[in-house]
Structure 1
């Protein structure tokens, strides 16, 4: 019914003079029945306020219409104090709607039913609508093989921003943008920004992406979705942290920390990957960008301490399948990889990865220019599994690693990168990368948002400049809901190694061993917090000698979920994220 009334309602609103719309009303609701009634009666500009407390097994169908400049807002009485659990879920279906401050936690749904979706039915979609300031945490079924998404985005011109998602253990991508079939296949042009995608344990199979834009079947369509300024922390579900499956998308200004996988341009063409930060912190399987398809641009990105190889390399181009079906590997054609900086990467450029009998088409017409690599003398800078074909442009790359024979266009020289107080490596005053780049390939600004010298830009992602820095690597303080308590869900990133070693096993069912090293004698406190910041275990509170220490962690009394281990000594804190995943009951 709502979908049939919308054209007439919007036409009526457009005929009204400014200021002639309904008076704005705040509908305060305490029950599901009152909420349903408020949705039915809401007018453009109204607010629906859910009372604080726990709402269990509630299906919210937010199916109404606001108007341009007069959004209808559904919000929590106090952001973060409206807890939806059990089988609760949310459908946003209408135009100019906003959902603000809700908290989904500890629930579970049947196979195929998303926690949040921007539609009521296949014909009743959301447009110009927004999900903001919300969280979904540990919303998992008993079986990891029960498949559902947490957020399914339909319609056009929608936004998901300043949300926090963590602890997904079951099958299914966390957030998916869905494209429609022709003739309703206009690019959706959604925006996904300023979210914190928190820890997700390895699933062990495909179908555990953090973000997927499109599907294989619709991958030749343009989506024009912007994914920017998001933080990905230990998003280890599968190799495709982000799975691009459509065209024209932009991935800009995102930060990846300790994430075992890659930003994968899996299907679709003409995407831009710009100004992202990838920090592996020396963890196996941490990768960068994987290129498949045509006309992609990877520019101004910063990669540090990644340990991925092969498909998980810092920058890989994949072999194609002749006459590839939509769900296989299209040949890489005309990629541009320019002005990126790689520091201490295990495998930097891997060209033609995946060569096999059926995956036999090498990358074609590739351009790799003005990049900077400063890595270990034991680490190869360039690995070519099958030589690219067509016009190959290597130019202006200044690299330092294993002294292999390199094509013309690679200068083997110490780039003179110096680590700053922020932990990033930038060119020093005598660096050979200064003014060394061909301006034909230079973006207007560098990874910091500082303008580049148009006549003689620096190679790599950073332009040496005194201009104000506009962009920096993201921390939890920069993203996610404003209301969320910034307890030690994650430490602010610092360029020092953690004293807490990765625990094994992790995820674990009942017990694990925590190891840490003290450089000197200190009073140590070791505690475990849940994802909401509540202390759940005190493991240690005593003075210890310098050296290696091991502590048994017994989690048999704790529910499945994501936890934060905090080691505190003399004003310093170190953090590790742990996952308890019940398999024995």
Structure 2
């Protein structure tokens, strides 16, 4: 009887198996029909071309291992514009390869939301997709570009640039009980490009939670993202919930901070902050309880006060959810500061109703090397409770900190081949960190010596480097990275200065670039598929500033990448948009 049973079961499996369908659609009606018919494992392919004023309601149910995929025929060649928008609702869904470009929506509408017809998304993914210059005529019109609802969703390898209107770019929304389980989303390997200053709150790049729900756990991971000139407001990232992780991100020329605004228990680890001397560039702002700021690298930041490399804010007694909770049990350890205008601002924000100093603060095994005249530590109100200073090595103007809080000595940080400042072989940082605060790895992902670790974010090691500062070649959609775009982060590469930092012009404009030494310069323009459409400049020039004319009048309207390369292995690029009346 046993062989018969086996044959019967096998026959049932064959009878119920279904071939996974691939449906090619060319119109909005065909698209919605295909979505309604989709079953686990199916793929819906949108035809290349411009899709205008399309409301995509991607509501379906996939299954573990059998995701339903909505994708472009050719990644980057499906361009959604006008009032186009996307809603994702259901489970095990995937969207990839789309480009939302130069559209505009009414107040509160939202470009992409992980909910459809009131149904939230779970275990779903947005990847290899771009939103570029999707702005209304008036910047006061508010809407978000991406809203994450549901649980266990992922936004990765996407490109976001050019948001000018009110509203955070990407928001994680938390829910009321009984649906208040941590959403546990993942936001990784994305490119967050230029955003001009709005001049008011509500222009964050990422916001996780709200003041009203800030005591809820979110447990969102934000890692390996690149933030470039994201200048909308002081809060580049606004943490407003508990248990979130910010790891391995790179911030470049960003006038603002990673702000732990509300909520508790955040981990800020292994991030790179490069100010390049730009005014208002900052690091991490700390408010609330049990935050850890570890293994981060801060260089050439000019911010002071709330914009300092590290600012620890005073609290409000019996603070309401939308004010400032007292900082308690924060740990700031194994960080490296190089040429930062204000490395530590402690107890900032004093006012008659904001009077609670930080409590039980730990500052350990940090290194500061600065040639600037500003104090390393500015203490506005002395911390209370068990405040611990241990294993720090400072060099510069000391400032106000307790005697014995740091060793004042030149740390001998020298610029390495990758442009980062690392300990020289004779550095006093080596093997001198306080072991009570040792970490398992350093900013490179290399293991630390658990008995005699090094001070700062970098451990002297011959182990392979796992993590490094990100360039555009490391993040965003693969169809944008095909243009072989790379930016050197450690030093000061030659920089393009476009007409309006990536915002529309009518086809002809003047631009400039600056060289620190003579070089052969080639400037090329690519479309968003990675195809080179023209060479703009190609000659050898001396050091200094140079102006050139960009004539794109023969090109179609749209968004392009302008890439500058020199024979000194320096590269930079800018996003530009040609728009005609």
Relative to the length of structure 1, the TM-score reads 0.89
Aligned pairs for 1:132-143 (under 5 A) are 132-143=127-138
**Aligned counterparts of 1:520 and 1:340: Cα–Cα separation in 2:** 32
Classify the secondary structure of the residue corresponding to 1:411.
Answer: strand
Aligned pairs for 1:145-544 (under 5 A) are 145-404=140-399, 406-407=401-402, 408-487=404-483, 491-500=486-495, 514-518=511-515
Structure 2: gaps (5+ residues): 1-11
Q: More deviation in 556-565 or 103-112?
A: 556-565
Contact preservation (8 Å) 1:201, 1:507: no
Shift of 1:548: 4.4
Contact preservation (8 Å) 1:50, 1:77: yes
**Aligned counterparts of 2:578 and 2:142: Cα–Cα separation in 1:** 16
Classify the secondary structure of the residue corresponding to 1:63.
Answer: strand
Contact preservation (8 Å) 1:167, 1:561: no
Classify the secondary structure of the residue corresponding to 2:254.
Answer: coil
Shift of 1:53: 1.3
Classify the secondary structure of the residue corresponding to 1:83.
Answer: strand
After superposition, the CA RMSD in angstroms is 3.0
Shift of 1:409: 2.1
Contact preservation (8 Å) 1:566, 1:576: yes
Contact preservation (8 Å) 2:521, 2:566: yes
Render the CA deviation track for 1:165-195: whole Å, top value 9, x for unaligned: 1111111111000000112111111111111
* Map of 2:38 onto structure 1: 42
CA distance 1:62–1:569, shift in 2 (3 Å): closer
CA distance 1:443–1:143, shift in 2 (3 Å): same
Render the CA deviation track for 1:417-451: whole Å, top value 9, x for unaligned: 12111011111211111111122211211111111
Classify the secondary structure of the residue corresponding to 2:50.
Answer: strand
Q: How many pairs are equivalent?
A: 567
* Map of 2:572 onto structure 1: 575
Q: 2:92 aligns with which of 83, 86, 96?
A: 96
Classify the secondary structure of the residue corresponding to 2:473.
Answer: helix
Contact preservation (8 Å) 1:290, 1:315: yes
Classify the secondary structure of the residue corresponding to 1:321.
Answer: coil
Q: More deviation in 265-274 or 533-542?
A: 533-542
Contact preservation (8 Å) 2:82, 2:104: yes
CA distance 1:195–1:21, shift in 2 (3 Å): farther
* Map of 1:64 onto structure 2: 60
* Map of 1:4 onto structure 2: none
Contact preservation (8 Å) 2:81, 2:103: yes
**Aligned counterparts of 2:541 and 2:405: Cα–Cα separation in 1:** 54
**Aligned counterparts of 1:216 and 1:89: Cα–Cα separation in 2:** 27
Contact preservation (8 Å) 1:22, 1:43: no
**Aligned counterparts of 1:563 and 1:250: Cα–Cα separation in 2:** 33
Classify the secondary structure of the residue corresponding to 1:37.
Answer: helix
Relative to the length of structure 2, the TM-score reads 0.90
Classify the secondary structure of the residue corresponding to 1:131.
Answer: strand
* Map of 1:84 onto structure 2: 80
Contact preservation (8 Å) 2:517, 2:543: yes
Structure 1: gaps (5+ residues): 1-15
Contact preservation (8 Å) 1:138, 1:561: no
CA distance 1:137–1:508, shift in 2 (3 Å): closer
Shift of 1:324: 1.4
Render the CA deviation track for 1:356-401: whole Å, top value 9, x for unaligned: 2222211111000011111115132101011111111111101111
Shift of 1:298: 0.5
CA distance 1:480–1:68, shift in 2 (3 Å): same
Shift of 1:573: 5.3
Contact preservation (8 Å) 1:320, 1:359: yes
**Aligned counterparts of 1:79 and 1:508: Cα–Cα separation in 2:** 23
Classify the secondary structure of the residue corresponding to 2:397.
Answer: coil
Classify the secondary structure of the residue corresponding to 2:480.
Answer: coil
Shift of 1:496: 3.8
Shift of 1:499: 3.9
Contact preservation (8 Å) 2:487, 2:573: no
